[in-house]
A and B are shown apart, each in its own frame.
Chain A
């Protein structure tokens, strides 16, 4: 039903993505297709294959992956697409936030109850800061507020960015998950995964201005042209709500387990990851919000980053890899990282971080 609906959308281009990484090339299916001998290529031939792949890669910089199930951060060299080192964290890193002056990268360790503060250029650990259950975290666009969603403790904390003074805690039912802000920083919108609602919190009065149903198990939140877009993980759609009233104005079917949403750097597209069913990534036209493209990306695509070379980097929660997708061809390569990779931070000018 869903596939038919998607495929009937005239503009939708269904990209059948292909894993072109070495690991992907040696899957059982591929080995059977090429004959068992193909899986036993001499070491030299494999090295040449790897070299040829690496030669195509032009990107520089480093990518930091939050391995939520391995208590570590993986550093990937964008040039070689290899993990160069792992940084230990206390327990469970999920998401990150860059400070308004862009001098510090905060990694939220939710069950470790602390922030790990890194240098975003070198990924050197600067310090650790105790904080209650920091699952998702963001600074408001004007840099004045720092908002922390405590998913496991049903709390939303609003901090003053300068000095991280707690201004107010909202005990809220239930499972506050992801957030985004109005561009003028007046309101933060929080998805409540356990109760299927979105809460709008006024950051000037520190009051909840509305708390409305949006769909089952909402996860990612994106504010777009005065609307609040939410991926409903318990459904197959993205809900579009009026940012002022919380009234639902539209539902866009993307795929079962719609999860996170990201706007492309050029502002022309919005990318939605779907957890179930077709394990896909659906691209929406940012102007019309219609689905225009779909990539099949098995392995639980979660957070993503857009690289300057046009590639899109995804964390793949269930196969413990990062996928690098070429949006033009739909092909992707994968890189091994730690267990249950979630957050991803890409710094194309952070070449020093890989050392």
Chain B
């Protein structure tokens, strides 16, 4: 499977990107463009695999039926922007540049840039275990970023866009405010730089993790059983986090891939069944507006919380 994806990225690079860069006088950035091509191909594969798995599940055992599912359409747009388009390019370029500058400067000062493989040399040649350790650390970081985004009122104003969706499906995973995405990227980058995450070393495994995250948002009556739900975040577990009574500044089940952190920090709730989703405090524009309407509504709400104004309802 990996060679097929890599070959597709190579084809995009060879036949589309290089001629375009050549015409624009930007051919010196060919390595960066290949990195983006890989991101885009694996991102598209993520969307396809998620689609192929989640659509049958949602049809087989739906939690909710909606006569009009137009609110889902904008989530599809969020997904493509987040996984295939501009964001992966910015993420790759920015992260790569930061990593090069920071690690190069550390090397110059006589320090060895931190990486898990340098701390634990036995990890060389064990890519799956290495990836697993990186994934566990990053998921721990994600738990705290997510939890903090509920604790700070201004931050939750952005995150409310994610929670406002009353028609939650697997497409909803990437439904985020752009500023929230930028904060998330900065958060991820800091942790990733500290532990030396390689940008594109494990693309297939990243695909797998993103699949679990998308699946956790699916409108499907699916749980992994008593033990499985304590190993991986399931649709049932994550739905409790999106429930109307859990939205706002105090919530449950913050974990993205692993529920371990919720169990460790006592924020896990395994008792809730398949609840209705949405945030009753969120403006209607956040729930059913178009992409730009939602972005504007989220930004206004954040500014109001930061700089005062009419208080909104309890979070």
Contacts and interface: CB of A to CB of B under 8 A. Distances in A.
Interface of A: 69-71, 87-88, 90-91, 111-114, 130-133, 150, 152-153, 175, 193-194, 216-217, 233-234, 256-257, 275-276, 279, 298-300, 317-320, 336, 339-340
B25 interface: yes
Nearest to B11: A318
15 contacts: A69-B6, A69-B200, A88-B124, A88-B127, A113-B103, A113-B107, A113-B113, A152-B97, A194-B28, A217-B28, A257-B22, A276-B18, A276-B19, A298-B14, A300-B10
A213 to B, nearest CB: 14
B273 interface: no
A113 B22 CA distance: 29
Contact of B30 (A91, A131, A275): A275
B100 A320 contact: no
Interface in B233-287: none
A150 B105 CA distance: 12
B293 interface: no
Interface in B1-45: 2-3, 6-7, 10-11, 13-14, 18-19, 22, 25, 27-28, 30, 34, 38
Contact of B28 (A132, A233, A317, A339): A233
A130 B107 contact: yes
A148 B3 CA distance: 32
Contacts of A71: 198, 201
Contacts of B6: 69, 320, 339
- Which secondary structure characterizes the binding site on chain A? loop
Contacts of A299: 10, 14
Contact of A132 (B2, B3, B27, B107): B107
Given A233-B27, A319-B7, A111 B19 contact: no
Nearest to B99: A111
B27 A234 contact: yes
Contacts of B53: none
A298 B38 CA distance: 19
Given A71-B201, A130-B112, A111 B124 contact: no
Contacts of B10: 299-300, 317-320
A132 B104 contact: yes
A112 B200 CA distance: 13
Interface in B87-117: 96-97, 99-101, 103-104, 106-108, 112-113, 115, 117
B94 to A, nearest CB: 13
B104 A257 contact: no
Nearest to B103: A113
A111 B201 contact: no
Contact of A90 (B22, B107, B115): B115
Interface string B136-169: 0000000000000000000000000000000000
Contacts of B103: 111, 113
B3 A336 contact: yes
A275 B191 CA distance: 37
Interface of B: 2-3, 6-7, 10-11, 13-14, 18-19, 22, 25, 27-28, 30, 34, 38, 96-97, 99-101, 103-104, 106-108, 112-113, 115, 117-118, 124-125, 127, 198, 200-201
A131 B124 contact: no
Contacts of A275: 18, 27, 30
A340 B34 contact: yes
Contacts of B198: 71, 91, 111
Nearest to B17: A318
Max chain B Cβ within 10 angstroms of own Cβ: one of A257, A299, A300, A339:
A339
Nearest to B123: A88
Contacts of B14: 279, 298-300, 318
A256 B25 CA distance: 12
A90 B117 contact: yes
B22 A276 contact: yes
Nearest to B96: A111
B19 to A, nearest CB: 6
Contacts of A340: 34
A173 B245 CA distance: 57
Closest 8 CB pairs of A and B: A318-B10, A152-B100, A217-B28, A132-B107, A113-B107, A88-B125, A193-B28, A318-B14
Given A276-B22, A299-B10, A320-B6, A150 B28 contact: no
A213 B201 CA distance: 36
A92 to B, nearest CB: 8
A71 B202 CA distance: 10
A175 B25 CA distance: 15
Contacts of A112: 115
B11 A91 contact: no
A69 B28 contact: no
B201 A91 contact: yes
B28 A175 contact: yes
Nearest to B2: A339
B117 to A, nearest CB: 6
